[in-house]
Amino acid sequence: MDIQVEQSCPQCGAPVTLSEDDRLLTCPFCGIKNFLQSKGAFRYILPDKLDDTDRSQLIYAPYIRLKSNIFHVLEDTISYKILDTTQLGFVIPGLPPTLGMRPQAMKIKRLTLNTPGRFLRLSVKAKVILEKAVKLSRLAQPKGGTLFHRAYIGDSISFIYLPLNQDETHLIDSVTDTPLVELEEITSYPLKGTPFNPRWQVRFLSTLCPRCGWNLEGEGDCLVPTCSNCDTAWETSAHGLQQMEWYIQPGDRYTGLYLPFWKVKAHVPALEIFSFTDFIKRTNQPIIPKPQWQDRVMSFWIPAFKMRPKIFLQVSRGVTISQWRVNLVEGHIVPNLYPVNLPRSEARQAIKVVLAACAASRKNIFPYLPEARIKNADSSLVYLPFVDQGHDWVQPETGAVISKSVLRFGRNL
């Protein structure tokens, strides 16, 4: 489910509508581009229904919005589920436990220094809420025997605040203007809240290449914009733009699209996986390792873009097993680079699940997962060429196939 955010342009003040995952704001009125940068999760408010009244008396109740793909590695299978929920993060009677469809039904606003009112502190940790949501969605005891591993991949966390006001007797929902609970019943709850915390402020960054001053390119939700003038790629982080290592498998005249992958070099000592040869043997692949694979550090190839869980695993597995067919060169700009919208940190979360998905013999891998630790992980960004084959995109070197409809869907995950 996609949420629309109303945001004013930092240059001309015009109202711009963004998707909640957008990191790049392009103003349709003045044309200026800015990256959005924040120290933590994005924070939003639901628009209230109050007329021209003084809003300084409003209090805001925090809801945690979680989106994640949950994977379970079980004795017989790997199961997955998409979690998308908005749960109350402040324990108090009378407030709705979840915002349900409300954030989708209206344009939400970004919380800024100019938002009057006070903000109730979270009294429930995001992790606790995530676990509760997993239980509610009947994911806690999936069918299929012993649970060897659970992973949350592609998490996105944000806060949505519900505005509340009070009359003499009641706490009132200011979005619907309905009384929620009698004030008498909640005298023991800390309703004072705190003012806007400057750390919550989203900053706007220039989209000029820090190296050569050219305009960086990237779509709204792109986490790694590129410079077509000096062939650099930049990772947006809490500290600003940082130049990153990147590579590409050159395409040919049939290439229609380049898709990004995180190539995560990693050791898994509990399974004695250090080299690509170790991986081929341990996961019982029906191929004979080449002598030079002994010197090739094992790497897991995780899509750097969001997709539905099933196809995410299929593609990771296909490219990881066939990685020896890929020949990378230094990154350089080519047409049709698909935006990176799955962060590097999430790729690391996927390693054990991808390892399980690669196993030709489950019993040699699955039971070892609870003890397995990932060591010496080191990731770089890699673009692979894909060829248009009607309904699918096909990667010629590795044979990975991605349905075109899946890519469209993934942009809204």
- Could you say whether residue 254 binds Zn ion (CB under 5 A)? no
Distance of CA 386 to the CA centre of its chain: 23
- Could you say whether residue 27 binds Zn ion (CB under 5 A)? yes
**Which of 82, 91, 105, 230 is close enough to bind Zn ion by CB under 5 A?**
230
- Could you say whether residue 91 binds Zn ion (CB under 5 A)? no
**Which of 9, 108, 304, 350 is close enough to bind Zn ion by CB under 5 A?**
9
Closest CA relative to residue 176, chosen from 242, 99, 277, 240: 99
Of 11 and 364, the one with the shorter C-beta distance to Zn ion is 11
- Could you say whether residue 215 binds Zn ion (CB under 5 A)? no
Of 383 and 386, the one with the shorter C-beta distance to Zn ion is 383
Contact stretch for Zn ion (CB under 5 A) within 14-22, 72-80, 136-144, 189-197 = 14-22
Answer whether 260's CB lies under 8 Å from 304's CB: yes
Per the structure block, which two tokens stand in for 224?
Answer: 């790694």
**Which of 12, 105, 128, 140 is close enough to bind Zn ion by CB under 5 A?**
12
Of 224 and 227, the one with the shorter C-beta distance to Zn ion is 227
Q: How far is the CB of 246 from Zn ion (least distance, A)?
A: 13
Q: How far is the CB of 145 from Zn ion (least distance, A)?
A: 53
Q: Taking the alpha carbons of 377, 383, 384, 388 in that order, is the dihedral positive or negative?
A: positive
**Which of 8, 77, 112, 229 is close enough to bind Zn ion by CB under 5 A?**
229
Q: How far is the CB of 235 from Zn ion (least distance, A)?
A: 14
Of 7 and 283, the one with the shorter C-beta distance to Zn ion is 7
Edge to edge, the sheet with strand 24-26 lists: 24-26, 33-37, 203-206
Q: How far is the CB of 213 from Zn ion (least distance, A)?
A: 7
- Could you say whether residue 214 binds Zn ion (CB under 5 A)? yes
Answer whether 174's CB lies under 8 Å from 165's CB: yes
Closest CA relative to residue 305, chosen from 334, 266, 336, 346: 346
**Which of 1, 30, 105, 287 is close enough to bind Zn ion by CB under 5 A?**
30
Number of amino acids touching Zn ion (CB under 5 A): 14
Q: Taking the alpha carbons of 170, 171, 174, 175 in that order, is the dihedral positive or negative?
A: negative
Closest CA relative to residue 260, chosen from 196, 194, 316: 316
Strand 108-110 versus strand 33-37 pairing type: unpaired
CA distance 411 to 413: 6
Q: How far is the CB of 197 from Zn ion (least distance, A)?
A: 27
Contact stretch for Zn ion (CB under 5 A) within 44-52, 95-103, 214-222, 293-301 = 214-222
**Per this entry, what is the length of the chain?**
413
Answer whether 356's CB lies under 8 Å from 78's CB: yes
Q: How far is the CB of 27 from Zn ion (least distance, A)?
A: 3
Residues 327-386 that bind Zn ion (CB under 5 A): none
Residue by residue, DSSP assigns 282-305 as HTT-SSPPPGGGGGSB-EEEEESS
**Which of 1, 2, 15, 29 is close enough to bind Zn ion by CB under 5 A?**
29
Q: Residues interacting with Zn ion, by CB under 5 A?
A: 9, 11-12, 14, 27, 29-30, 209, 211-212, 214, 227, 229-230
